[in-house]
Chain A
Amino acid sequence: MQILGIAGSLRAHSLNAQLLQLAAANLPDGVTYAAWEGLRDIPPFDQDTEETPSVAVATFRSVVSSADAVLIATPEYNGSIPGTLKNALDWGSRPGATNVFRGKPVAVVGASPGAFGGIWAHEETRKVLGIMGARVVGGGFSLGKAPERVAAPDQELLGQLRDVVETLVFEATARVAAA
Chain B
Amino acid sequence: MSTLSETRTAFPTGTWQVDPVHSTVEFSVKHMVVANFRGGFDAFEVTVDEGGIRGTVDVSSVRVSEPNLTGHLLAPDFFDAERHPRLSFASNAISIAGDEVVVDGELTLKGVTRPVAIKGSVGGPVTSFDGSSRIGLELETVIDRTAYGLAWNAPLPTGGFAVGNDVKLHAELELVLAEVA
Contact = CB atoms under 8 A, between A and B. Distances in A.
Q: Do A and B come from one complex?
A: yes
Interface of A: 96-97, 102-103, 130-136, 174-175, 178
Given A103-B82, A130-B152, A178-B82, A97 B71 contact: yes
Interface string B53-89: 0000000000000011011101111001011000000
B70 A130 contact: no
Contact of A133 (B67, B74, B83): B74
A80 B82 CA distance: 30
B68 A96 contact: yes
B76 A135 contact: yes
Interface residues of B, number: 13
Contacts of B68: 96
Is the contact region of chain A dominated by helix, strand, or loop, or is it mixed? helix
Which 3 residue pairs are nearest across A and B when measured between Cβ atoms? A133-B75, A130-B77, A103-B82
Contacts of B83: 174-175, 178
A134 B67 contact: no
Given A130-B152, A175-B82, A178-B82, A97 B77 contact: no
A131 B74 CA distance: 10
Contacts of B70: 97
A136 B76 contact: yes
A134 B67 CA distance: 16
A103 B68 CA distance: 15
Contacts of A178: 82-83
A175 B83 CA distance: 8
B77 A131 contact: yes
Given A103-B82, A175-B82, A133 B152 contact: no
A102 B81 CA distance: 11
A97 B72 contact: no
Contacts of B82: 102-103, 175, 178
A133 B83 CA distance: 13
Of the candidates B72, B75, B80, B83, the one having the most CB atoms from chain A within 10 angstroms of its own CB is B75
